[in-house]
């Protein structure tokens, strides 16, 4: 197709910077109201409404033009043009304040993937849809910052979308007898064919990877007696950021207490990586914030680094279950990738020490660490923790803000101390080199290595 495909953020960037906009397909997602009909394999969807959406925009229901779409009314999955349609739209109409569509899905014997998608919607495991449209008439909103009022638009496409890619939903769907193999095969094909300039797929690559890994069995939820998940409370990257996430400038300052104070619980579900699942409606239940509270919740690099350091034990660590820490690590590691950074290795202090104390590696080296050498390693680790604590030091906040945000900025036993006028280790690369040299100087003699 000749049109340029863009998401709403890209479209707004052009509009508000006064760049020309023409021949584009803008995509918008909606939580669809789905109604099952008596007709076999047929569902009614609300695919757009005239209300202000989560992007701060409004689409005039009376402004939809659907004649061209109805000449070839196919319904795709995630706007995947390379796959067969999962359904056919038999009708599109405006009803009250909404654009509605009736779709008939493929029988299982004809196209198992389309039938699987039908079951996902019918049984409540999928609820989102996406429309692709060509804006014809629009104007910036007079009363909503960075909002756009679309007055006239042509419907070009209508897709079913797995947003968010909910791991629990996939597991439950499988337990209810829905054949999810077509979804795994679809994800595998998409990943094999993925290119960075791909514009025919709606969902981010990370979500496709999540779906594939879940269905392949790489990461399935283990259930305890009574059905409680071991990693209950984890906010995965896919759950928090089904469409990816904007990035704040890499040098953006971070004030955790202030951001949490400005957020509500719904904001914190996007901003954080873990919560106390027994108290999900309390702000203090949410831990490891790393996104801005306002706007599109941009991720902040310094906050990601601080959250990762706390997860791995810096400044006393963070009070979350051990079983959940790897999933939280995976969430934060995705943000490291977004900033083109290599995440630190996931390992507890005890695992690092055990790796070098009395293990197979030491037997191969022909010696076993003495208690004195073990103590040296632990002392080196304590020194590293202290350095990390200084690097991730946040400005002190008053106690009221700490309590309001539910996230403690400093531990109770922290003593006031004079800050140096200038930190001699501001250069991160120099710091890494110094630490690497220091660690080698301690470990190599212990391990029997000679440079």
Q: What is the pLDDT of residue 77?
A: 93
Provide the pLDDT confidence category of residue 376 given band limits of 50, 70 and 90: low
> Residue 305 — pLDDT band, cuts 50, 70, 90?
very high
Alpha helices in 154-204 (DSSP H): 167-175, 181-193
Q: How much is the average pLDDT of 281-305? A: 92
Q: Which of 267, 246, 274 is nearest to 335 (CA)?
A: 246
Report which of 288, 295, 294 is spatially closest to residue 335, judged by C-alpha positions: 288
**Which tens digit of pLDDT belongs to each residue from 210-255?**
777 777 754 333 323 333 343 578 998 888 887 788 999 999 999 9
The answer to whether residue 338 scores a pLDDT higher than 50 is yes
Cβ pair 422, 415 in contact under 8 A: no
Percent of the chain with pLDDT over 90: 32
DSSP output for 333-387: HHHHHHTT-PPPP---HHHHHHHHSSSHHHHHHT----HHHHHHHHHHHHHHHHH
Confidence at 386, pLDDT banded by 50, 70, 90: low
pLDDT tens-digit series, residues 71-113: 999 999 988 888 899 999 999 999 989 999 999 999 999 999 9
Q: How confident is the model at residue 424 (pLDDT cuts 50, 70, 90)?
A: very low
Query: Is residue 114 predicted with pLDDT exceeding 50?
Result: yes
Which of 217-221, 427-431, 441-445 has the highest average model confidence (pLDDT)?
Answer: 441-445
Q: What is the pLDDT of residues 249-287, one digit of tens each?
A: 999 999 999 999 999 888 899 999 999 888 888 888 999
Helix axes 181-193, 205-216, angle to 10 degrees: 140
Q: Is the pLDDT of residue 136 over 70?
A: yes
Q: Write the CA distances from 358 to 11, 350, 374, 446, integer angstroms.
A: 60, 13, 10, 12
**CA distances in angstroms from 423 to 381, 409, 419, 420, 428, listed in the order given:** 21, 21, 9, 6, 11
CA distance 446 to 362: 10
Residue 143 is classified by DSSP as S
Asked whether residue 292 carries a pLDDT value surpassing 90, the answer given is: yes
Model pTM? Answer: 0.50
CA neighbor of 43 nearest in space, from 91, 5, 2: 91
């Amino acid at each position: 197709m000749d049109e340029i495909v863009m998401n709403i953020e890209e479209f707004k960037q052009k509009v508000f910077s006064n760049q020309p906009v023409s021949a584009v397909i803008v995509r918008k997602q909606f939580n669809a109201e789905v109604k099952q009909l008596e007709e076999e394999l047929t569902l009614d969807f609300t695919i757009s409404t005239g209300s202000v959406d989560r992007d701060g925009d409004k689409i005039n229901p009376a402004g939809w033009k659907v004649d061209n779409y109805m000449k070839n009314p196919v319904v795709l999955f995630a706007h995947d043009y390379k796959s067969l349609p999962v359904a056919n739209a038999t009708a599109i109409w405006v009803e009250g304040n909404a654009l509605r569509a009736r779709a008939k899905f493929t029988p299982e014997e004809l196209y198992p993937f389309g039938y699987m998608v039908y079951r996902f919607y019918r049984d409540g495991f999928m609820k989102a849809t996406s429309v692709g449209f060509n804006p014809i008439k629009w104007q910036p909103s007079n009363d909503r910052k960075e909002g756009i009022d679309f007055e006239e638009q042509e419907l070009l496409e209508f897709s079913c979308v797995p947003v968010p890619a909910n791991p629990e939903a996939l597991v439950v769907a499988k337990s209810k007898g829905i054949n999810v193999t077509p979804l795994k095969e679809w994800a595998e094909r998409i990943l094999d064919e993925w290119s960075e300039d791909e514009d025919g797929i709606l969902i981010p690559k990370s979500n496709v990877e999540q779906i594939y890994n879940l269905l392949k069995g790489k990461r399935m939820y283990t259930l305890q007696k009574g059905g409680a998940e071991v990693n209950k409370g984890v906010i995965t990257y896919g759950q928090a950021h089904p469409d990816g996430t904007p990035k704040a400038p890499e040098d953006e300052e971070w004030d955790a207490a202030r951001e949490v104070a400005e957020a509500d619980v719904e904001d914190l579900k996007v901003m954080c990586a873990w919560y106390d699942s027994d108290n999900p409606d309390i702000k203090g239940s949410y831990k490891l914030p790393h996104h801005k509270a306002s706007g599109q919740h941009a991720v902040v690099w310094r906050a990601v680094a601080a959250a990762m350091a706390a997860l791995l034990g810096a400044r006393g660590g963070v009070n979350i279950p051990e079983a959940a820490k790897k999933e939280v690590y995976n969430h934060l590691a995705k943000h490291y990738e977004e900033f083109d950074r290599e995440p630190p290795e996931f390992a507890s202090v005890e695992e690092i020490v055990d790796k070098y104390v009395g293990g197979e590696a030491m037997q191969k080296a022909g010696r076993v660490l003495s208690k004195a050498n073990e103590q040296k390693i632990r002392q080196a680790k304590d020194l590293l923790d202290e350095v990390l604590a200084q690097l991730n030091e946040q400005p002190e906040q008053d106690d009221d803000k700490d309590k309001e945000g539910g996230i403690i900025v400093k531990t109770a036993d922290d003593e006031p101390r004079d800050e140096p006028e200038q930190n001699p280790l501001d250069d991160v690369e120099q710091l890494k080199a110094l630490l690497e040299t220091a660690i080698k100087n301690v470990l190599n003699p212990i391990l029997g290595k000679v440079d």
